[in-house]
Structure 1
Amino acid sequence: MSSVAVIGDIDTVTGFRLGGVKRTEVVKSAEETTIAFDKLLDEEVSIIIITQVLANEIREHINRKIGSNVLPMIIEIPDKDGSSEGSSDQMADLIKRVIGVEMVK
């Protein structure tokens, strides 16, 4: 495992391509997102950057596939329209996956 990949809309992906990320997937639906996500898991990508909107659309699938694994690290970012309501606290989720304990505020 040793690469970064991005799943998102054309604008998000283009920005990352301009920044040097070579492994990208442009998607337009939950079905395309699921297929792209599974493809990246098969390629053993270590970091998957995905827009919050798309991650929320396939949340159950992501949780089922990743489970308690630390890698790949899933980083959710806002898309061109900004943050989505109800997005999860990524750091708390990562800590829970790594140490198995939910951090309480």
Structure 2
Amino acid sequence: MVEIAVVGNSEFVIGFRLAGIQKTLVAEGDEALKTTVQHVIDDPSVGILVLDSSDMNRLPLRLRTQLEESVKPTVIAIGEEEGGLSMRERIKRSVGVDLWK
């Protein structure tokens, strides 16, 4: 089974957890973020990795490049460029499914 993983600070992951995504990982500092993202990349059950775009920008260049070129897991960065969309709309845009239906 392919899973969706969400990595970020507690405020970022809570919306996804409430939407029913089971694999939500809180990573507050830069080192924790790097380690957690690497762990998710190495997990063969993860098909989609969701990150906050500001967290993506905090990652080391080599890891960020690896994520940008990754096919499995597919990496989706959500952030400020999304404008004033609600969390529901952001999840729908990222995942492609309205999880509230």
TM-score after normalising by structure 1:
0.67
Secondary structure in structure 2 of the residue aligned to 1:46 = strand
Instruction: Give the Cα separation in 1 of the matches to 2:14 and 2:20.
Output: 10
Partner of 1:13: 13
Residue 49 of structure 1 and its aligned partner are, at CA, apart by 0.1
Query: Normalized per residue, which structure has more helix?
Result: 2
> How many matched pairs?
80
Residue 66 of structure 1 and its aligned partner are, at CA, apart by 4.2
Deviations 1:9-49 (A, max 9, x none): 11111110000000011111111111111111121211000
Consecutive aligned runs of 4 or more in structure 1 exceeding 2 Å deviation: 65-69
Identical positions, percent: 27
Partner of 1:101: none
Are positions 1:31 and 2:70 aligned together? no
Are positions 1:46 and 2:47 aligned together? yes
Gapped regions of structure 1 (runs ≥ 5): 84-105
Cα RMSD, aligned residues only: 2.1
Gapped regions of structure 2 (runs ≥ 5): 82-101
Q: State the structure with more CA Rg.
A: 1
